[in-house]
Amino acid sequence: MSKVFYDLLKEREKDLVDKLYDSINDNQPDTFLKLAGKPHTEMYKGQLGKLIHLLESFLAGESVDQDILDWGTRVSEDKVRQGLSLSQSIKHFLVIRDVLWDEIISIAENNGQMTREEELKIGKVINGFIDDLILIFSTSYTGMANKRLKAQQAMIDEISTPVISIVDGVAVLPIIGDIDTHRARVLREHTLRETNRQKVDCLILDLSGVFIVDTMVAQELFKIINSLKLTGVDVNLTGMRPELAHSVVSLGISFDNVKMYNNLEQALKAFGVVRK
């Protein structure tokens, strides 16, 4: 590998970091706003500086596979936290590649000590280096993003299945929106856990917010009610729409042992919860 390019790269580290930073800003001004502010600026310049050091070690023939993996992982975590998309982040690497190629061309033209063959060879090495970084970064970014998405989904599931304590031993579970297989499973697990934790003897299941009904919804509701009964919880239903009632009858599902109320207010009054 050309010693001329290696030496000039080390000499121009700080200038090169600034050039990389400015080039990314010029090419992606919209996403770069996410990096605004001195703490983010210093952090990102530090990451770029580390990147140049890794490239220098790579050009020198040193083994930097683990260091590259560590760098890609840390940077991907930062990009996920900053809210940059994967495509926006990868564009940063493409800008970095262009800037490094500009450096090769500039050194070759101004220094005169690099042959055309050396120039192309260095360019090929840089391309391979950036390609490896993109692959490592993309894999890590996707893993981090999926992990964050799962955590957000778990939070949404928790919020969308609230078991609300009304009076001692009595609670309400309002079900709002569609019920699919995933939500039905979460609903059952969360309800069993919360009724046990809150020592609920009677649960009022309010269905007035369920607008789309089919046989699957009716079956899942039956499973939830039976599961609760097995744990000793008395289940009461309110707000059952005609469409859901029709599905229940069509399936031959029996709610004979479940008390029904027209609405939540009626059910609460039956348990002595009245407005004073």
Mean pLDDT over residues 84-104, rounded?
84
Q: Identify the CATH homologous superfamily for domain 3-155.
A: Globins (1.10.490.10)
What is the pTM assigned to this prediction? 0.56
Percent of the chain with pLDDT strictly greater than 90: 5
Q: Using one digit for the tens of pLDDT, what is the confidence trace for 38-50? A: 566 788 888 888 8
Q: Using one digit for the tens of pLDDT, what is the confidence trace for 164-201? A: 888 888 899 888 877 777 778 888 888 898 899 999 99
Q: Using one digit for the tens of pLDDT, what is the confidence trace for 229-273? A: 899 999 998 988 887 777 777 777 777 778 888 888 888 888 777
Q: Which residues pair with 204 in a beta bridge?
A: 172, 236
Contacts of 153 (CB under 8 A, 6+ apart): none
- Tallying the residues shown for the chain, one arrives at 276
Compute the mean pLDDT over every residue in the chain, rounded to the nearest whole number.
80
Mean pLDDT over residues 133-144, rounded?
87
pLDDT of 3 over the 70 cut: no
pLDDT, residue 199, reads 92
Q: Is the dihedral of CA 189, 190, 196, 202 positive or negative?
A: negative
Distance between start and end Cα atoms, the chain: 86
Can you list the positions of beta strands (E) in the chain?
164-167, 170-176, 202-209, 234-238, 259-261
CATH number of 164-270: 3.30.750.24
Q: Which amino acid is at 155?
A: M
How many C-beta atoms lie closer than 10 Å to residue 144's C-beta? 17
Q: Give residue 156's pLDDT band: very low, low, confident or very high (50, 70, 90).
A: low
Most confident of 41-50, 207-216, 223-232: 223-232
Closest CA to 263 of 236, 231, 226: 236
Q: List every span in the chain annotated with CATH 1.10.490.10.
A: 3-155
Q: Give residue 111's pLDDT band: very low, low, confident or very high (50, 70, 90).
A: low
Q: List every span in the chain annotated with CATH 3.30.750.24.
A: 164-270
Mean pLDDT over residues 70-95, rounded?
83
pLDDT, residue 188, reads 87
Question: Who wins on pLDDT, 16 or 253?
Answer: 16
pLDDT of 218 over the 80 cut: no
pLDDT, residue 10, reads 76
Checking 123-129 for CB contacts under 8 A at 24+ apart, the result is: 125/1, 125/58, 125/59, 126/55, 126/97, 126/100, 126/101, 127/97, 129/54, 129/55, 129/58
Q: Of the ranges 18-32, 84-98, 120-134, which one carries the lowest mean pLDDT score?
A: 18-32
Closest CA to 235 of 168, 172, 190: 172
pLDDT, residue 12, reads 76
